[in-house]
Amino acid sequence: MAKTYRAGIIGRTGKGDYGHGVDVAISKVPNVEIVALADENEAGRAAAAKRTNPKATYASYREMFEKEKLDIVAICPRWIDQHRDMIVAAAEHGCHVYMEKPFCRTLAECDDAMRQLEMRHLKLAIAHISQWSPVLDVVKSLIHSDEIGEVLELRGRGKEDAGRGGGEDLWVLGSHIFGLMRAIAGNATSCFATVLQKKHKVTKADVAEGNEGIGPLAGDALDATYSFANNITGYFGSHRGAAGNPTRFALQIFGSKGIIETESGYGARTHILKDSSWSPGRTGKKWEPVTSAGIGKPEPRQDLTYEAGHIAAIVDLIDCIEKDRQTRCSAADSRAIIEMIAAIFESHRVGGPVELPLKTRVNPLTLL
């Protein structure tokens, strides 16, 4: 018989809440029993308990860990200022982790969280749900089968809306793009970037506390170039107020024979252009849809919602626990994504390219 896993939920109403429905998703995973829920906000705790029906609720997640024997915890808040502390508390109580992204505020916090998990042989999966997408699996198979030839460039952008384009867009949505880049090209090896605020280079005077617990943040426009193995170059940019309609928030994979464009998400809308010139205006060639069934084929009847992505990731986490392997977006993967974010600010700070892994493990903006 399959083991039943005892799970806890950590929410933080008003300060990241329950992420993108992480609490409800884990309550729907087979062979998972919701034992307890913690939220410092009384009204939010009561509302979440109605959604997930835990056996016990707590105002403090630390008290929950002390009083309950848990196998898995869902760290749900989008705000990341408490992520490191929540992970460490989970590790100290022998608990595997599924959590909302991004990972932690700094590489030093990522390092500490990873160390606490690894020394106890605990697994972590982070909710970059694109990594579990059956559509992404097809994209990788198309690249492997030479459908777009040799991969030459990766290009990604955030949503670039009027509210958070630039630095906040980098953290909140750029992290998804970097996850997709790494799925195609592996680890980045260097970064060169500039960060602007009202068209001037960001200085110490521009740094302020960011939203969603990000910590010190600056920049309403940024542009970055990354080097990857196999001579692949990656680009990321976000300029506040420059949003496209529809959005440019996606990853474009440019090959010698064509382009694949894929959005972020479990059922990400994806298209292929088999055009070596990258110019349908000149060639007359057209984009074709790509689904989990392949090029131009209708999507099979399956649930590809955000919630289904969470469930697929948590099911994978359990399989990783039982088979002692790493998840599709592990602690190491999550730290590498944060490193790509930090590298933009570090390159701007030093005024030139920086090698990855970064030597600077604190927020580079604090060193301006």
pLDDT by residue (tens digit) across 120-174?
999 999 999 999 999 999 999 999 999 999 999 999 999 999 999 999 999 999 9
The answer, yes or no, to whether residue 264 has pLDDT greater than 90, is yes
Q: For the chain, where do the domains classified as CATH 3.30.360.10 start and end?
A: 133-302+338-355
0.95 exceeded by the pTM?
Answer: yes
The answer, yes or no, to whether residue 368 has pLDDT greater than 80, is yes
Q: For the chain, where do the domains classified as CATH 3.40.50.720 start and end?
A: 5-122
Mean of pLDDT values over 50-77: 98
Q: What is the pLDDT of residues 26-39, one digit of tens each?
A: 999 999 999 999 99
173-177 contact pairs (CB < 8 A, 24+): 173/238, 173/249, 173/264, 174/236, 174/238, 174/341, 175/101, 175/102, 175/128, 175/337, 175/338, 175/341, 176/101, 176/128, 176/130, 176/264, 177/236, 177/249, 177/250, 177/251, 177/264
The answer, yes or no, to whether residue 301 has pLDDT greater than 90, is no
Q: How far is CA 323 from CA 123, 302, 316, in A?
A: 11, 26, 10
Cβ(273)–Cβ(142) below 8 Å? no
Mean of pLDDT values over 310-336: 97
Question: Over the chain, what is the mean pLDDT?
Answer: 97
The answer, yes or no, to whether residue 1 has pLDDT greater than 90, is no
Structure tokens at 88: 């460490």
CATH number of the domain at 5-122, out of 3.10.20.600, 3.40.50.720, 3.30.540.10, 3.30.930.10? Answer: 3.40.50.720
Q: What is the pLDDT of residues 204-258, one digit of tens each?
A: 999 999 999 999 999 999 999 999 988 999 999 999 999 999 999 999 999 999 9
pLDDT at residue 234 in the model:
98
pLDDT at residue 230 in the model:
87
Q: Give the contacts of 354 (CB within 8 A, at least 6 positions apart).
A: 190, 191, 192, 343, 346, 347
Give which of 238, 81, 252 is closest to 168, Cα–Cα. Answer: 238
- Superfamily assignment of 133-302+338-355 in CATH? Dihydrodipicolinate Reductase; domain 2 (3.30.360.10)
Give which of 116, 124, 202 is closest to 167, Cα–Cα. Answer: 202
